[in-house]
Each structure stands twice: as C-alpha cells, then as structure tokens.
C-alpha cells in the first residue's frame, strides 16, 4: 500500500467519522423527543413512540438502509445516497438512544425525588435539578456504547452507495487484487476512531463527575 | 414526526405492493433536459470499473464519456455493491447500468441489454505458483469457486460436474472474496469472465495466472436498461454509440487499452446460449 492510498484510507475514515457523528447528534435530538413521549402519561404520545422504537429496533439496519434507498422512490421521494444513509442511521440510533435515556430516567431513585419534594421543589424543578442531571450521568456509558455501535454500523452504508472506510478498503482490495493490507488498515483505523470516541466519553464522565467538597 | 415516518412506510409498502411506480415520459429526453445521465455500477470490477487511487477509471468510464460527449450531457456515476445495482435501476436511482453484465436469457426477460461491448466467456484463474492446473479440466476432484448469481458460476458448475471425479464448487459473494479465498489456498481456481481474469493476472502476476482456453458457451457483456417504453430511446442511443465507435475504430482502441486485445463483437445478442 502506497502513502497515497493510505492517505485516501484516512480520508475515508474521516467520512465514516463525520457521518457517524452527524447521525449520533441527530439521533440524540430525536431520541430525547421519543424518550419524552415514551415517559409521558398521555397514550397519544406513548403509543406512536413505542411503535417507533419497536420498528427501528426490530428491523435490521441493513434492511432499513435498503428500504430508504430503494423503496422511497416508489412514492416519488428519490433521496440521495448520503441522505438515505443519514436518515436510516439517525432514525435507528434514535430508537436505541431513546431507550437508553428512558433507562436512565427510570433509574433515578424514588427516594431522591421524594426528598426533593420534601424540601419543597416543584415538579419542574425536580425534573430539571434532580432527574435530568442524574439520568444524564447514568446514560453516558450507554451513549458512548451506542456511538461506537454506530461508528461500526456505518460500514453498512456502502450498500446505498456512500463510499466510507470499509467500501474504500474493498475498492482498493479489488483494484490491487491484494485485500489483506487494506482490510488490516481499515481495522486499525476503526480501532483508532473507537479509542477517540471512548476518550471523549471518559472526558464527559470526568467533566460531569460529582465532586465532593 | 414518528407517526409521519410510520405512515410513510405504510404508504411506501402499500404503493409498492400495488406496483405504482411513478410514471416517466422519456428517460433520454429527461436526462438531456437535466444535462445529466445517471449511470449505476459497481466499482470492484476491473478492468470495467475500478478505483485507481482517488479516480474512478475503466472501460466503462471511457465509453460513457463518449456517450456523454455525443449526447451533450454529463455522466454521473452511482456506485453500489453489485447486489444493489439492478434494484437501483428498478427504483430509478439511475437510468442505465454500466456493470456490465453477461447477456443471458434470464436477465433478458427482465431487462433490456445494449449491443455487446465485450466478450465475457468464462475463464479460470489459478494461483501463479500452482503447476497442477494447466487446462480447465485439471480441476477434477479439487475445490473451485465463483461469485454467487454470476453467469460464470453457472458455467463453472457445468464444468465441475463434467470432470471425473467432479470438482467441488464453492459460492462467494463476489470476485473479491473468491480471489481472497484462492490466495488463502481454500480453492485452486476461480471462474471469471476473460477480461476480468486478464486484469487480475496483469495486476498480480506474482499471485494469479489465467488458465487458457476459456470454457463453456461464448458469452457477451452488455449494458443494462429498464424494459419499459420510457427507456427505449436511451437504449437505442447507446446502441447507436456502440455501432458508431465500432465503425470509426474507437471501440477497438478502448478494447486494446483496457483488455489488451481486440475482439469482434456481434451487433446484437438476441438468443444467448444460456
């Protein structure tokens, strides 16, 4: 493998990172909304949110990608490769992130909430000052896990024509008829990206850690 | 938002079940109006379509450049894995498939083929260091492989059954996997079309060698379009381009450049042998 091809592999790793990051970010926003809907007392909100989560966790991501790319044109919505990949990745990770967040909120101990009520906090205050900070801390490890999952799952998006890290390795393997160095290089680059995400997650945990005075 | 997404899915599935594809007037005039012809392909198919560094090159790229020039439009490439290319054609992600694909009876029932642009008779590729395979029938009793869904695999199975003792045929998802498994020693030969086989041996002479002669029925490569009336004018324009390039020698030049040899091609294949 030449330096030029290696540089192109690194560039492809950048594409993988960018698409994964955007999907995680959009997924987090949608995930928060879906989690809110699932925790809401209203059935009108809870029902569709549960349907959403069961669909996007129930159908394999690969199938979702193919659905968005090949099925939407049948009703006149012909989205581009990158759009199909981002929509599928974001909507899928949103379902998982909503569940992670819901788990975080459900793990906030009742005793703490009762204590907050006892010191006179209003409902909204309890939510903002007790539930949210604790739930976020409890959710971060799961969020990091999900981010790594999406980083790796993004290897699938070449089925809709996005040229990311794995596809670049495949292309070069096919061109040179020498697959090993490219797959090895892709593996190492994924490992590097994964460590980057882990580092960010740890920094976030440190930042949010409860400091005892 | 979630509801809408679900409704969208229900609607998509429903309309697909009813076969409601959006109506299109004429693919060629639409492409001309837009100034862009979208071509779908797979980029793991040297010498037709492959990635050389940061460039997409190959026979197809040169050919469609000529098409674009004579029809006055730009060519936009959409690269998918081969499994996705024909579904992509059907869902109008692009209007023609470069590939190319071997013109077969089964495929002709569903798609329109252009005039042949290359010969694709099946050829075995072996490890360069393996002296035990000198002719196709030497695979008797050994393990060989080919890409699933490919015409080469069909021909290879016939060859494998005709030798004694019969050879074992393994199926792979693509040429990449087949070559890798041969390099790893799990199979002694893989079936490829002649141009692909020559490209592999030329690129890695230390690793691969072509086992001549090609075997099985003579087969030709063509480009693929949808079988609807809207696509007819586009496919005619591509055929006219092939004919013009054969007459003025540009086709022979392209063949020499990418296949290393020129081949006589029939004007059309109406009744393929398989």
- Cβ-contact B54, A175 below 8 angstroms: no
A48 vs B: CB within 8 A: yes
What's the pLDDT at B5?
55
Chain B (108-167) residues lying within 8 Å, Cβ to Cβ, of chain A: none
* Closest by CA position to A156, among listed A60, A24, A14: A60
What's the pLDDT at B19?
47
For Cα atoms B68, B72, B77, give the angle at the middle one, nearest 5 degrees: 35
With CB atoms and an 8 Å threshold, state whether B81 touches A171. no
Higher pLDDT, B261 or B273: B261
Residue A179: pLDDT band with limits 50, 70, 90:
confident
DSSP state of A209: P
Q: Nearest CA to CA, how far is B116 from chain A (Å)?
A: 24
Per-residue pLDDT reduced to its tens digit, B126-145: 999 999 999 999 999 999 99
ipTM associated with this complex: 0.79
Statement: residue B13 has pLDDT above 80: no
Domains of chain B and CATH, by start: 21-119+221-259 (3.40.190.10), 122-215 (3.40.190.10)
Facing residues of B55 across strands?
A: B52
E strands, chain B, where? 36-41, 44-45, 49-52, 55-57, 74-79, 96-102, 112-113, 118-119, 122-127, 143-147, 168-172, 189-193, 208-215, 220-225
Q: Domain spans of chain A? A: 3-208
Residue B7: pLDDT band with limits 50, 70, 90:
low
With CB atoms and an 8 Å threshold, state whether B16 touches A161. no
What's the pLDDT at B127?
95
* CB neighbourhood size of B89 (10 A): 24
Sign of torsion, CA B220 B223 B227 B232? negative
- Comparing CB atoms, the residue among B3, B175, B180 nearest residue A48 is B3
What's the pLDDT at B20?
47
A81 vs B: CB within 8 A: yes
Region A33-55: what's the mean pLDDT?
96
Which residue is closest to A44 within chain B, CA to CA? B3
DSSP state of A20: H
Mutate: best of B1, B51, B226, partner A, most A CBs <10 A: B51
Output the six-digit token pair for B148: 């699933």
Residue B232: pLDDT band with limits 50, 70, 90:
very high
Facing residues of B34 across strands?
A: none
**DSSP-derived pairing of the beta strands B36-41 and B96-102:** parallel
A75 vs B: CB within 8 A: yes
* Phi, psi values for residue B123, rounded to 5°: -135, 145
Q: Please list every residue in chain B whose beta carbon sits closer than 8 Å to the beta carbon of residue A175.
A: 44, 46, 50-52, 203
- Comparing CB atoms, the residue among B54, B88, B180 nearest residue A70 is B88
What's the pLDDT at B9?
56
> How many inter-chain contacts (A to B, CB under 8 Å) are there?
116
What's the pLDDT at B17?
47
Statement: residue B150 has pLDDT above 60: yes
With CB atoms and an 8 Å threshold, state whether A174 touches B22. no
CATH code matching the domain that covers A3-208, chosen among 3.40.50.2300, 1.20.1050.90, 1.10.599.10, 1.10.3720.10: 1.10.3720.10
Statement: residue B167 has pLDDT above 60: yes
With CB atoms and an 8 Å threshold, state whether B2 touches A48. yes
């Amino acid at each position: 493998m030449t330096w030029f091809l290696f540089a192109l592999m690194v560039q492809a790793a950048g594409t993988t990172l960018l698409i994964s990051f955007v999907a995680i970010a959009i997924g987090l926003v949608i995930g928060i909304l879906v989690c809110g809907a699932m925790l809401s007392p209203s059935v009108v909100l809870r029902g569709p949110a549960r349907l959403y989560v069961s669909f996007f966790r129930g159908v394999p991501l690969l199938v979702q990608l193919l659905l968005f790319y090949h099925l939407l044109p049948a009703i006149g919505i012909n989205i581009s490769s990158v759009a199909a990949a981002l929509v599928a990745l974001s909507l899928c990770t949103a379902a998982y992130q909503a569940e992670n967040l819901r788990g975080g909120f459900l793990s906030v101990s009742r005793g703490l909430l009762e204590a907050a009520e006892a010191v006179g906090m209003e409902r909204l205050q309890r939510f903002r000052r007790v539930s949210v900070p604790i739930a976020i801390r409890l959710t971060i490890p799961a969020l990091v896990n999900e981010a790594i999952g999406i980083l790796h799952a993004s290897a699938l998006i070449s089925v809709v024509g996005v040229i990311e890290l794995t596809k670049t390795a495949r292309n070069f393997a096919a061109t040179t008829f020498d697959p090993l160095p490219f797959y090895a290089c892709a593996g190492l680059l994924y490992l590097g990206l994964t460590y980057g995400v882990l580092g960010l997650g740890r920094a976030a945990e440190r930042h949010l850690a409860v400091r005892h005075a | 938002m979630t509801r809408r997404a679900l409704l969208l899915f229900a609607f998509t599935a429903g309309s697909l079940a009813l076969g409601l594809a959006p109506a299109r007037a004429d693919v060629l005039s639409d492409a001309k109006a837009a100034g862009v012809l979208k071509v779908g392909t797979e980029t793991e198919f040297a010498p037709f379509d492959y990635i050389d560094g940061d460039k997409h090159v190959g026979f197809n790229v040169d050919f469609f450049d000529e098409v674009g020039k004579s029809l006055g439009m730009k060519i936009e490439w959409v690269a998918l894995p081969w499994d996705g290319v024909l579904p992509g054609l059907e869902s109008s992600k692009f209007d023609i498939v470069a590939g190319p694909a071997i013109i077969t009876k089964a495929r002709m029932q569903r798609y329109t083929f252009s005039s042949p642009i290359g010969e694709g008779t099946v050829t075995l590729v072996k490890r360069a260091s393996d002296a035990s395979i000198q002719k196709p029938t030497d695979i008797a009793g050994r393990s060989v492989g080919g890409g699933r869904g490919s015409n080469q695999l069909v021909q290879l199975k016939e060859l494998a059954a005709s030798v004694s003792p019969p050879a074992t045929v393994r199926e792979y998802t693509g040429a990449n996997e087949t070559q890798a498994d041969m390099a790893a020693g799990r199979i002694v030969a893989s079936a490829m079309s002649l141009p692909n086989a020559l490209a592999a041996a030329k690129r890695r002479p230390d690793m691969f060698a072509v086992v001549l002669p090609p075997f099985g029925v003579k087969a030709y490569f063509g480009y693929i379009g949808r079988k609807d009336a809207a696509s007819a004018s586009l496919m005619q324009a591509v055929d006219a381009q092939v004919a013009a390039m054969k007459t003025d020698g540009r086709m022979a030049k392209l063949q020499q450049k990418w296949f290393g040899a020129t081949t006589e091609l029939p004007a059309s294949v109406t009744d393929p042998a398989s």
